[in-house]
Amino acid sequence: MAEYRLHCFRESGNAFKVAMMLDLCGADWEPVFVPFGTGLTRTPQWRAEVNPMGEAPVLEHGAERLSQSGVILDYLAGQTGRFGARDAAHGREIWRWILFDNHKFTSYYSMLRFQYGIQKTGETPVTEFLRGRVRAAWSVAEARLRECEFITGSEPTIADLSMAGYHYYDEATGIDRAAEFPAIERWAARIAALPGWRPPAVAMSQRGL
């Protein structure tokens, strides 16, 4: 059995945040397929056995069973000594961006992608609202990434891996990312060029998918 086991599914950008970290650290890890579409994560049994919050990703490492991608990334930075903070102030800066990501940058985008790109709802008041919120949050990151190679400075950290989780999927969102957010596109390409990086469908590929 691998040292780390990641409960995930390939469409999950939140899980891909952790998969990227494991790959970039050269960790010994394996995916554990979560059949999200079947509703398994909503069952009392899955919640009792895997995650009471009903969400992927979940990381197993020895006796640890962790959820919330930001917490998992922080744990892995501690375990591996990679992509973490160089001092306390840098640590606060990393957490500022991870919280911004979880609240706005990832969450509005992932909901828009799910509704417009996967469920194919067509344009609705909800997708219009979400797209507006995405543009507002992404403009903040775009301005930052015009100044810096990575979100907290010249080196990649877990904040970058958190924010980049949904950049390597191509479902429609009604946003032309390359045209509207060129600095974000260049940053996502810099992350994908780091040694060990694999795309979501490869990193989280499992039998049964």
Ligand X SMILES: N[C@@H](CCC(=O)N[C@@H](CS)C(=O)NCC(=O)O)C(=O)O
Query: Which residues in this chain contact ligand X in the complex, by CB under 6 A?
Result: 12, 14, 41, 54-57, 68-70, 102
| CB-nearer residue toward ligand X: 87 or 170 | 170
| CB-nearer residue toward ligand X: 9 or 183 | 9
| CB-nearer residue toward ligand X: 54 or 91 | 54
| CB-nearer residue toward ligand X: 70 or 156 | 70
The distance of closest approach from Cβ of residue 180 to ligand X in the complex, given in angstroms and rounded to an integer, is 24
Q: How many residues does the chain have?
A: 209
Whether 169 contacts 11, CB under 8 Å: yes
The distance of closest approach from Cβ of residue 36 to ligand X in the complex, given in angstroms and rounded to an integer, is 7
The distance of closest approach from Cβ of residue 8 to ligand X in the complex, given in angstroms and rounded to an integer, is 9
